[in-house]
Amino acid sequence: MIKIRREHGLPITPFEIDEVRYDKEGEKLFIIAHDRTDKSVVIGSSLVIGKLKEELKVKLVSVYTTLDLTLKRMQLEKSLEFAKEHNLNFLIPIIKAEMKFPPRKWPEVKTNKEALIFLTFNADAMIGFSRAFNLKGKVYGVKYSFPKLSYTPLDRPLREVFFPNEEFLNKLASENGIDIVISEFEFPSKVEDSVMINPMRFLRIGYFEVKYLFGESRPAVFNKYDLIDYVVTMVEEGLMEATDGARIIRWGWKRR
């Protein structure tokens, strides 16, 4: 990496790497930097990582910090207890697999449970997680929000494109005889009449990763100020990089 930085006129800044993991099967390299400053130096505005990927001839180079993985582990331990307490045994193998991340190796999940899925900003991820959990889903969303996706449109406030209304969804799930709701709630998991889960917070998998895992379909209608609230919240929680957040806000602000 120092060689690449020197060749491209980047400053030779000291950095510390705690661990390097290589997934031979997936041809993926995972660099675990000591802290966020070290991570920024390693990434080098994506140029360093891009060149490193070319030189090593791997499919992917990802950089995390020891703190990233520590926070993830802390959340996964809470999620594991939640799954055990509320008879969500089908989620336990995935939680345990995530505890070994990186790399990510999810087992096939078996369950006959059904879920209500409410589409939010990371709509593809909500659908993707539900499929990974092997949940049969009834998909809903705000009217006109995701025209390229198949779902039942609801006449709901635009703010729910980013911040779903848990009371409304809990009631909707009960009316449909469903006891699991998947959406981007502001909490990892909660139980009322139904079990409500935000898979991104539940497994602590951020925006960049879910985009890579499941793709991305951004909403067609939304309030720009709600978008800012959403991005700020995600960045504060460490679920979105500030640079990604800035790009998303710029995208949203340019729309009419």
Q: What is the DSSP letter of 138?
A: E
Per the rule left: phi > 0, alpha: psi between -120 and 50, beta: everything else, 20 is beta
Among the residue ranges 2-6, 31-35, 115-119, 146-150, the one predicted with the least confidence is 2-6
Taking the model in full, what pTM does it have?
0.92
Confidence at residue 50, expressed as pLDDT on a 0 to 100 scale = 80
Q: Is the pLDDT of residue 49 over 80?
A: no
In a domain, 6, yes or no: yes
Residue whose token pair is 């409410």: 118
Q: Is the pLDDT of residue 203 over 80?
A: yes
Mean pLDDT, range 154-176, rounded to an integer = 97
Query: How many domains, the chain?
Result: 2
Confidence at residue 105, expressed as pLDDT on a 0 to 100 scale = 94
Q: Which of 206, 186, 213 shows the shortest CA–CA distance to 198?
A: 186
Q: What is the domain-level CATH number for residue 199? A: 3.40.50
Mean pLDDT, range 74-97, rounded to an integer = 97
Q: Is the pLDDT of residue 8 over 70?
A: no
What does pLDDT average to over the chain?
Answer: 93
Among the residue ranges 40-49, 72-81, 201-210, 234-243, the one predicted with the least confidence is 40-49
Same domain for 128 and 50 = no
Q: Is the pLDDT of residue 13 over 90?
A: no
SS3 30: strand
In a domain, 153, yes or no: yes
Same domain for 53 and 132 = no
Which residues span the domain enclosing 21?
Answer: 2-67
pLDDT digits (tens, 9 = 90+) for 101-120: 999 999 999 999 999 999 99
Q: Which two tokens stand for residue 146?
A: 């995701």
Q: What is the DSSP letter of 25?
A: T
Same domain for 45 and 121 = no
Confidence at residue 12, expressed as pLDDT on a 0 to 100 scale = 79
Same domain for 126 and 40 = no
